[in-house]
Structure 1
């Protein structure tokens, strides 16, 4: 499917030429200098944990082998993705099996040594890095795709498998992993599950609570909890697997999971549209749901400032259209290309005839589809490439989805260099970004806790898909009432009575 003249969409002869894209971690490490220890800057009181000693190190070396016990050059493990959190861990352990994870946690629990589970370390709330001197439990070696069943659509995979590698293996038998993130080349599927990551296709496949059929998790005392399942319908007692989806390593360490993977679609269409107002964005979204129906897979919003920042930072990107306050990226996945193209054409033609869609481009060519998605994926990186950025991942009612961006522009004024919004319109998940030349207390107090108070007044969620981690732990009260938080603490104490699993996060 080429660009459609019958819709009067603008033709573009220039093909986007993409340079090799660095991994997310590489790009972020170039942004800022090494921060001070978070324990000091945030006045964190170290928990009543034991101190690592030579006997502990010797035990781990005997268990894992010396090459998998790291004591030097640990900066990458101590630094969060956004370089806002910096821990002081002296030891990184890299187990290669569930049995080794079990032995590590059993020893740490008996010795009362705090542990920080870590996957690809691409999180945005400081949930995967130590705050004080916790032992880092790296899942990098638990990276196997154990099985992918073409008939049932069920895949079994270890927690440390990189999401993109998992998806490539699934595609070999005609399946696809139902979660897609900009960090897919670096993030681990276990980390995705542990944070209940969302991504760009929640509108099609739903959250991970529906896709994950079972998990294997190691508890703080080393006990292995086998909650694996090969069935979507398993109505036997409590669904304990759900406790670990989104628990951010505070209840146990996920080591393996079973996931239901849909079949890959034969027909993929992507439209990149320009619109004059957020009112037109909402009308276009309603039209997309009505006219595209079962084939609608993604509905993304990017405002002009977010797009222009990415284009300024990454010269290899070229937007096919420009000059509009809002842009939408809409994707369809189906099985009949002619049918899907016809539905997409009718949807866009209707929007243009009503004056809701001003301009755009549509394509079904795989290369061009990837180029359009690359624009969306590079937006968050463009905002942190050369400046400090406050990033907020919130769910808001659709009618109020974008208002907070305008409110924060007025509130921050000249303190901010860029205030913009983009995100998953299809599931009400806005990524609010406030950039400044460098972190300073004045703009910090201007932004927090106001963003969370504003979100709470609208009965939104302070975390749509990134979790709570360290950065949001003091704001959980804006989305959960005191009774719910009390029950969460009780569950934490039951699963981890010594509090060794990912301390200083979420609840404490």
Structure 2
């Protein structure tokens, strides 16, 4: 497979060459013995077993950490971090390891991995408040199944829901398909318990929706990717699960038609719309050729997905039918289908949600997660496709059209530096020139940390560094992720106007 051998080794060495100058202790047998006692033997040291934790989901990052610790309580996390801080041992917090920007894997063999997988208990659910309290290691899909018994759901839906953990979701401020309906995790997380680098336990747990007493400390941990503290418990809003859903898929000939169909969906479907997604023709081609998923409607340059959810089946279907009449009447869509049962709905969503899985089958993925104004969002795809012609197997796009989140993926059978240099930093420069964000929902991780100035001003970056130094003065938590302490390793965007043509 393309991930193995020389290619993987080359990429790993490239990453290591960019590490900061912070000094960390080399792990000793004595350290392993002391840490093993804290977790009562719940450790992994076998090389074969370690590979799962050392390698990210897309197999682009592969480190050689020699130790995984699996504590089962906040107190044990506290003891581990207290010792590691004292000894200056670098620690990488890890949830389900489904991240896509190298944020949950170590970059050096002396970094230890702190797995939260054993902290997977649901503490309580308060139906009257709709608040779920749980440990950080709970798998997202398991939480959804638990809440289903009460008629509620998690306000988050991801393709990796079967293995990702809620602590990792919160640490990366994950987005997903339900963001349009329920908003981001920043608004849905009511409380957090976290452990700082020195072992201090910060208890910001609350089930209150209103609390105006000073700074909202928990927000610092949401989206910080484990660089300020390790999230151990979460209090989460759990909305009532909609009784009825409709899933529809349409084909559109032009991007302008797609945007008009989107605008009408927002205005006509309003309170019942829960997802507005799209994929382009090349994305459809990839899932067809590499996952054998056939398109259920006629092929076109763009495909538009709509999900509605509500409590009145007749009302919701009537609104959807009226919308269908309008978009067909205005010739905005050329073909379409509405799922009549859950299996067809799942199949339709699979065309959208299994894009990365299909890309892995191709070989190597250069993956970009961006926010851009809708009027220029697809221009970037077209420009990237032109640049990569003859170098890449596919240049595909898909994403959350309802909130202007583009996933731009370039697939090739194997890694080449020429192709990477063709894409980066062009994609980030182009995005910055349009006032976009270089990370819409996946975080910065290791991949994008050096490009932070493409989305943040220097004053904001310096505040981030000050927070990092205050919360983690020895820099042991997830080194070289999100914000680099060594400013000289950051890349600056080009002068404004370079890509405004």
Length-normalised TM-score, structure 2: 0.93
Q: After superposition, what is the alpha-carbon deviation per residue over 1:422-441, rounded to whole angstroms, capped at 9, x for unaligned? A: 00000100000111221111
SS at match of 1:36: helix
CA distance in 2, matches of 1:318, 1:442: 33
- Residue 357 (structure 1) aligns with: 333
Residue equivalent to 2:280: 303
Q: What secondary structure does 2:47 align onto?
A: coil
Distance in 1, Cα, partners of 2:317 & 2:12:
55
Counterpart selection for 1:156 from 133, 153, 158: 133
Q: Which residue of 2 aligns with 1:507?
A: 483
State the partner residue of 1:235: 212
Residue in structure 2 matching 1:51, options 26, 35, 40: 26
Greater mean deviation of Cα atoms: 383-392 or 365-374:
365-374
Q: Compute the displacement of 1:201 (Å).
A: 1.3
1:216 aligns to what SS in structure 2?
strand
Within-5 A mapping of 1:398-477: 398-477=374-453
Q: Of 206, 221, 227, which aligns to 1:244?
A: 221
Matching residue of 1:130: 106
Distance 2:353 2:421 in 1: 29
Is 1:278 the counterpart of 2:255 in the alignment? yes
1:81 to 54, 57, 61: 57
Gapped regions of structure 1 (runs ≥ 5): 1-29
1:390-422 CA-partner distances (Å, limit 9, x unpaired):
110000001111111100111111111111110
Q: Distance in 2 between matches of 1:301 and 1:294?
A: 20
Q: Is the 8 A contact 1:310 1:378 kept in 2?
A: yes
Segments of structure 2 that go 5 or more residues without pairing to the other structure are 485-501
Aligned to 1:194: 171
Pairing partner for 2:156 from 176, 179, 186: 179
Cα displacement string for residues 246-304 of structure 1 (whole angstroms, at most 9, x for unaligned residues): 00000000001000011011110011111111000000000001100000100001101
Aligned positions, number: 478
C-alpha distance in 1 between matches for 2:319 and 2:219: 37
Distance 1:161 1:285 in 2: 35
Q: CA deviation at 1:368?
A: 2.1
Name the structure 2 match of 1:32: 3
- Post-superposition CA distance 1:429-458 (Å, at most 9, x none): 000011122111111111000000000000
Please list the CA deviations of residues 130-176 of structure 1 after superposition, one character each: whole Å capped at 9, or x if unmatched.
00121000111011121122221100111111100011101110000
Other-structure match for 2:14: 41
Deviation at 1:38, TM superposition (A): 5.6
Answer yes or no: is the 8 Å Cα contact 1:87–1:131 preserved in 2: yes
Whole-Å separation in 1 of the counterparts to 2:440 and 2:36:
40
Q: Indicate the residue corresponding to 1:389 in structure 2.
A: 365
Deviations 1:362-383 (A, max 9, x none): 1252222222212211122112
Contact 2:42 / 2:69 at 8 angstroms: preserved in 1?
no
Contact 1:68 1:93 in 2 (8 A): yes
Instruction: Give 1:71 shift.
Output: 4.4
Which secondary structure state, in structure 2, belongs to the residue aligned with residue 506 of structure 1?
coil
Segment drifting more, 196-205 vs 363-372:
363-372
Q: Which of residues 241, 262, 265 is equivalent to 1:264?
A: 241
- The alignment partner of 2:318 has SS state of helix
Q: Secondary structure at the match of 2:190?
A: strand
What is the aligned-residue RMSD (CA, Å)? 1.3
Q: Give 2:321's aligned residue.
A: 345
- Determine if contact 2:2/2:414 at 8 Å carries over to the other structure: no
- From 118, 125, 132, the equivalent of 1:141 is 118
- CA deviation digits over 1:286-338, x for unaligned, max 9? 000110000010000110110120111112x3321131110011000111000
**Alignment deviations for residues 39-93 of structure 1 (CA, whole Å, 9 cap, x no partner):** 6323134630111111111112211122434343211111111211111211110
Retained in 2: the 8 A contact 1:31–1:386? no
Alpha-carbon distance change, 144 to 364 in structure 1, aligned in 2, over 3 angstroms = farther
* Conserved? CA contact 2:362–2:412, under 8 Å: no
Alignment check: 8 A CA contact 1:267 1:364 kept: no
- The runs of 4+ residues in structure 1 deviating greater than 6 Å are none
Residue by residue over 1:165-215, the C-alpha shift from the partner in whole angstroms, topping out at 9 and shown as x without a partner, is 011101110000000000000111100000000001111111101000010
Q: Is the 2:43–2:67 contact (alpha carbons within 8 Å) kept by the matching residues of 1?
A: no
> What is the SS of the residue equivalent to 2:390?
helix
Range that drifts further, 322-331 or 31-40: 31-40
Gap change, CA 1:67 and 1:209, over 3 Å in 2: closer
SS at match of 1:401: helix
**1:20 corresponding residue in structure 2:** none
Of the structure 1 ranges 126-135 and 433-442, higher mean CA displacement relative to structure 2 is found in 433-442
Deviation of 1:358 after TM superposition, in Å, equals 0.9
Give the aligned partner of residue 288 of structure 1.
265
Distance of 2:236 and 2:454 partners within structure 1: 32
Partner of 2:493: none
- Choose 413-422 or 63-72, whichever is displaced more: 63-72
CA distance in 1, matches of 2:161, 2:425: 30
